[in-house]
Structure 1
């Protein structure tokens, strides 16, 4: 029997409010228990809409009951009772997740004959007794404007208002008030929302455990676009801007990404059985199963989940930021900043302002050659989202013909900004095919804070922003070619991840192929290969071995063979560890690395000892491949290799 009929039956038996609330409470409990099955039938936005509508039905039902109790057989028309129930926030957008706050606003007119306050009070008691956890606001209609002006959070909630039940006459008055609220201090509201967005992006990094609600490319980015569009254009859906601000294809790509975020967030709530908006590492296996992402190797299924999520976050971030920027410019919110003084123009429709490169949104599509020429010709600049949009819409299909220009990018200290430009514009894999396998690739070791691609970019960033005086002076002593090659090594050092074979060996192969394609000298090809092959060796030796042992130091330098390789590896290790996670590169780690570096320099300066170490290392590597040696147990192998003997 449907809940409404059960309540009708109880009313006919003069049941108490408590008995009524108990029945509603049990129905809510049954509904929540069945949410997993409902989600499996209706994922994404559909599930959130159904959940929102279900809460609507409970509110509508309880209000009807309260009116029955208050008026008995003399209930006036609902439209005549000056009370309206209004959904706010994600509930107002019909995006209510399982354990999200149910934000309800009750608006009334204080008409003595209807005793509205008593009706509202009785309704709220029934809601609380039924176990429906509401975050509610109660306002007399005349208060709405002053309340909205008190706090931007309240104003934001109000502009997402959606009528649930109650008086439609009063709702018309509410809508008129909301229109005035939207029109009041629009510019100030938009500026504050953009500031909020920028501050969130500073707070939340693009990590292995993304916050789907508040982080970079999150639902909040999407919401910010909607809020600004709602204020300016009074739209009820972002979709209404197709053809005005963005194309249908652009919206379709964004819509697919946002649907996936809705599904992941709903899954997190259902699995955690609480409000959980961060995809924590320990939840990934269950989330991938719940979303029917299967593979014979469960880790690959988990990789697919994470990669799709990372890609979706980037799509949403760029779509939201670019279109917010378009709206802001079109409506001259930042008139002074976007006046584009003639003196700031560096190319047609392209401007350099405060060391940042901007483009107009009617800028003619550029070729890959033009884009690369612009970037190379500029000083160490950063790139506005408008320039990201220009690159995104440019043709990079024949980038193989631009090898000389691409190589020049690595001579620029703002190479990190350049890489992020190509990453955000989805051109990176065309320019650097070697990175294709590591784009959006997760790292489940609990050690790395970022996916492989972002970690690699941060490694390059750290090379050009060295904080240690000795290492900085060492890097500055390099020739321009050496700096260029070290940046290439940093970009490709983890490019071999995501394969079955040792990522260091694969990385060496990819680096050698890169060197061949870009005509890099044999000397730098060999040097870079050694560094990539052993890019974890310095850290491992410093942390896991006795660096005061001559044998350990000899074995270490035997792999590097030269002072140049040691210098490259030292700086790469510094940059790599600092890119892993906060605190990984500690003062203790720094001391160990410096001691190992100086011990190794001494050994490298002794040519006779160095040659002995290299010969020994060569014999050991040969021994490791012998079939007889491989049949020996691991402990015995280790013991044999640890023998300090001239026979090696």
Structure 2
């Protein structure tokens, strides 16, 4: 399809803007058809998109500005490279001669207005050559854009003068340019938690994205005067295989980006989870027995960005040697007979070292742990590792020397996290542990798991390591205290590596993973006792979080059952640390003060049970009476008369004291004693972190009270994490809620609840006007299970379903209709799924 000035004029007749807009729309549809139907080459598509825009801009420029005008139209940035995706920004520089700088041609404004009229996303600047030079010296982003400047129309001599002044005569020193670009990349990666393996990656900016390839090109162009990867290969910086890897990676990312722009209908770089399924379909992925099409697609994506990250790190280090260290003397420091430090980087003595001594493929990481002053692995040695990965085979894994080296890496006091990450990045970890290699780049397509399985696992190991570091002991004091009691921390790391190893195989990964963990322990000569501990942790790594979040932790029977499962304080210590690290590594939004307090409560209660301390009550009545007395003593210390307190509590049953902590009892009772005549009484305070609130509502019990309270809280966009409902013998409801969600002023919460409870007839449930688009993506059939607790005289209802606004109100309405009384509730939201537990009775307080 060709575009010319004549075709635009004929198509648009007398309206140039309309003609150009229609021509661009026609061109876009043509390229879309070429992409989706004809499977056209992505390089051709991206450059053709740029060509179409070139034609239109040149036509409008020539229509508006006289040929003798000393002004140039120049493409910069990605457009300057001649690379445009369907909705990419079009960056332009209008270059003025000094003679017209004060009074630019009036036609220029008309030209720019027409660009907006025809729907182009234009980013433009208007400068003289002198201004370009000055601003390029002040701003490295402008200097980088000018590196990619491309002449479009106007005065070409002016463009050539700009090239001479800003590109040929560098605006930035090569060394400083390299350092700034590298620092920019480090800061950009930090914004994405230094990983491209997250749930909704950014195609451009995430580690391993297109920007990392551009950084390579920019540095190469600035210092080596090459404009692309082909130029780097010609200069000897890229081997043929490395060039192919980068080219294939870029082409894959371009195809994804081209499809994403068309799918969304605008510029979009972040791959939202609700777009990933359609992208997988459009790009030709199909579902298999074990995985969805989108999971196959995303695994290819994550493996691609890992390859880009590897090549980016390799090339930047080569550039450093040629730019920063080129004139510095070689500083060689022998390490052992196989390795030496070369200007701060670890390298082999000679290129055949790994072939002669394959165990050095693991030794390299141990040396880095033991020599923290070494900055990393030299690029030439990284290439040798890549070339010799095939040596890590069954024979390699069976060698006692290699097994001992791997265990030595795990046992090191420092550097475990860094070297595991490096081993994974270079492919060594997946080669040595093939079962780990199978989870590299594997993502579960839900809103709960924010990272790929391998990335999540390495984050978990990092979290465990932080418990051992004195500088982080204030983050999780109890975890640090417990960690120091572990006789062999390496067993915890092994369990961390294997806890999710069987994800994606079908079946229960906790059961399947035990086989892999047991095999590892046997191969690495761990004792039966140590093997038993590791396999226990893998098998039951979800047990503590499940118990804490779904069970009634005030019920001694729950503690007794969990203690029986754990069996010893040593296992409890390991499981507690693994659980905290696992939750924090799953999703940045998952960990909160409420989960922290639940796990601490379960840990302490189980510890006391296992140690048979007198503090731990063995039945519900004993526990209630102990809390009663402790709360009474504290209130008396606060100045309240014993008689007033006991009179207040006269109508309470022992169940209230069982289900509330001593601190909650004291806070609620103090509030009632201070305002004895206020009803309803509503108290709000911060719970145990700034994002969690505790709410107490004392009101006359009546039909629909629970439904009304939940509806009001959901309208305030507050999530109920826990609810405790007690009815006194004189018909008063004592309601305790733990909340998080939208930030709300205490006064606003109290006001809204007072208005709700003041109505004669309590309102129906909360029904939001709009449902989030994301909630339609992960619909699951609800599963409801019932069980009974005869000792506490209640029924337990477990609800598993997809999350949506107003869900709790809908459940409360069902309870209201069937005259069901809620005495306790725990709400667990795991991404798009909820696992809510309700402790319920009928209206007569029976099962």
TM-score by length of 1: 0.84
Which position in structure 1 is the counterpart of 2:441?
Answer: 440
**2:490 is the alignment partner of 1:484:** yes
Distance in 2 between residues matched to 1:7 and 1:589, nearest whole Å: 64
Indicate whether 1:191 and 2:179 are aligned: yes
Q: 1:582 aligns with which of 588, 595, 612?
A: 588
Of 491-500 and 470-479, the range deviating more from structure 2: 470-479
Deviation at 1:573, TM superposition (A): 0.6
Larger radius of gyration: 2
Q: 1:146 to 1:348 in 2, by over 3 A?
A: farther
Quick one: distance in 2 between partners of 1:186 and 1:30?
Answer: 44
Equivalent residue number for residue 416 of structure 2: 415
Q: 1:128 aligns to what? A: 116
How far off is 1:372 after superposition? Answer: 2.6
Q: Distance in 1 between matches of 2:52 and 2:360?
A: 54
Q: Which residue pairs with 2:735 in the alignment?
A: none
Task: State whether residues 551 and 644 of structure 1, in contact with CA within 8 Å, keep that contact through their aligned partners in structure 2.
Answer: no
Change (3 A) 1:297 1:371: closer
Tell me, yes or no, if the aligned pair for 2:3 and 2:52 is still in contact at 8 Å.
no
Q: Secondary structure at the match of 1:132?
A: coil
Deviation at 1:535, TM superposition (A): 0.4
CA 1:310–1:554 in 2, change beyond 3 Å: closer, same or farther? Answer: same
Matches of 2:323 and 2:787, distance apart in 1? 74
Cα RMSD, aligned residues only: 3.1
Maintained 8 Å contact 1:86/1:107: yes
Deviation at 1:363, TM superposition (A): 5.8
Aligned length: 596
Q: Partners in 2 of 1:182 and 1:150 — Cα distance?
A: 13
How far apart are residue 585 of structure 1 and its match? Answer: 2.9
Q: Which of 365-374 and 465-474 deviates more?
A: 365-374
* Structure-2 residue corresponding to 1:147: 135
Q: Which residue of 2 aligns with 1:617?
A: none
Residues 82 and 116, structure 1, Cα contact 8 Å, conserved in 2: no
Q: Judging changes above 3 Å, is the alpha-carbon distance between structure 1 residues 595 and 128 closer, same or farther for their aligned structure 2 residues?
A: closer
Task: Quote the Cα distance in structure 2 between the aligned partners of 1:434 and 1:296.
Answer: 20
1:257·1:312 contact (CA, 8 Å) conserved in 2? yes
SS at match of 1:442: coil
CA contact (8 A) 1:346 1:352 kept: no
Q: From the superposition, tell whether residues 182 and 445 of structure 1 become closer, same or farther in structure 2 (CA, over 3 Å).
A: same
Structure 2 equivalent of residue 623 of structure 1: none
1:222 is matched with 213
1:430 corresponds in structure 2 to 431
Which of 130, 137, 142 in structure 1 is aligned with 2:125?
137
- For residues 88 and 154 of structure 1, the distance between their equivalents in structure 2, rounded to whole angstroms, comes to 9
SS at match of 2:411: coil
1:473 paired residue among 476, 481, 499: 481
State whether structure 2 residue 24 is matched by structure 1 residue 28.
yes
Shift of 1:508: 0.8
- Tell me whether 1:537 sits opposite 2:532 in the alignment: no
Shift of 1:241: 1.3
- Per-residue displacement from partner, 1:95-149 (whole Å, max 9, x unpaired)? 222222100123243668xx97245344323323333232122333444322322
Q: Distance in 1 between matches of 2:266 and 2:352?
A: 49
Residues 285 and 296, structure 2, Cα contact 8 Å, conserved in 1: yes
Matched-pair contact (CA < 8 Å) for 1:3–1:27: no
Which of residues 225, 231, 247 in structure 2 aligns to 1:240?
A: 231
Deviation at 1:476, TM superposition (A): 1.9
Distance 1:535 1:106 in 2: 62
Deviations 1:34-68 (A, max 9, x none): 5532332335333211111111111122123335x
Residue in structure 1 matching 2:566, options 550, 560, 570: 560
What CA distance in whole angstroms lies between the structure 1 residues aligned with 2:322 and 2:510?
49
Over residues 284-325 of structure 1, what are the superposed CA-to-partner deviations in whole Å (9 max), with x where a residue is unaligned?
Answer: 111111111112569521111111111111111121121121
Residue 51 (structure 1) aligned to one of 49, 52, 64: 49
Greater mean alpha carbon deviation, residues 536-545 or residues 587-596: 587-596
| Cα gap change, 1:184 to 1:545, in 2 (>3 Å) | closer
Q: 324, 330, 337: which one pairs with 1:332?
A: 324
Bigger mean CA offset, 361-370 vs 466-475: 361-370
Match of 1:250 in 2: 242
Shift of 1:248: 0.9
Instruction: Report deviation, 1:582.
Output: 2.6
Give the match for residue 572 of structure 1: 578
CA contact (8 A) 1:187 1:333 kept: no
Cα 1:375–1:189, aligned 2, differ >3 Å: closer, same or farther?
A: closer
Q: Residues 8 and 219 of structure 1: is their aligned pair in 2 closer, same or farther, counting only changes over 3 Å?
A: closer
Q: Shift of residue 152 of structure 1?
A: 1.0
Name the CA distance, whole Å, in 1 between partners of 2:228 and 2:303. Answer: 23
Deviation at 1:342, TM superposition (A): 4.8
Q: Deviations over 1:159-199 (max 9, x none)?
A: 01122234444443333224335364222222111110111
* Deviation by residue 1:576-628 (Cα, 9 ceiling, x = unmatched): 11212235332222221122112222333459xxxx9xxxxxxxxxxxxxxxx
Cα displacement (A) at 1:346: 6.5
* Match in the other structure for 1:397: 392
Q: Which has the higher helix share?
A: 1
Distance in 1 separating the partners of 2:348 and 2:50 = 40
Judged with a 3 Å threshold, the aligned counterparts in structure 2 of structure 1 residues 298 and 65 are, in CA distance, closer, same or farther, namely farther
Match 1:275 to one of 267, 281, 284: 267
Kept after mapping to 2: 8 A contact 1:388/1:424: no
**What do the CA deviations read for 1:350-370 (whole angstroms, capped 9, x no partner)?**
3298xx854389865534312
Which residue number in structure 2 is paired with residue 621 of structure 1? none
Question: Hey, what's the Cα distance between the residues in 1 that align with 2:228 and 2:495?
Answer: 46
Deviation at 1:420, TM superposition (A): 0.9
CA distance in 1 between partners of 2:204 and 2:327 (Å)? 31
Look up the SS of the partner of 2:552 in the other structure.
Answer: coil
Change (3 A) 1:345 1:139: farther
Q: Retained in 1: the 8 A contact 2:137–2:171?
A: no
Residue deviations 1:189-212 (CA, integer Å, cap 9, x gap): 221111101111111122221111
Distance 2:225 2:500 in 1: 48
Written as runs of structure 1 = structure 2, the 5 A alignment for 1:91-106 is 91-106=79-94
Q: Distance between the aligned counterparts of 2:136 and 2:350, measured in 1?
A: 36
State the TM-score, normalized to the length of structure 2. Answer: 0.65
Aligned-pair distance for 1:226?
A: 0.6
Pairing 1:64–2:58 present: no
Q: Look up the match of 1:75.
A: none
- On the 8 A contact 2:90/2:123 being kept in 1, the answer is yes
Counterparts in 2 of 1:579 and 1:644: CA distance versus 1, 3 Å: same
CA drift at 1:510: 1.1
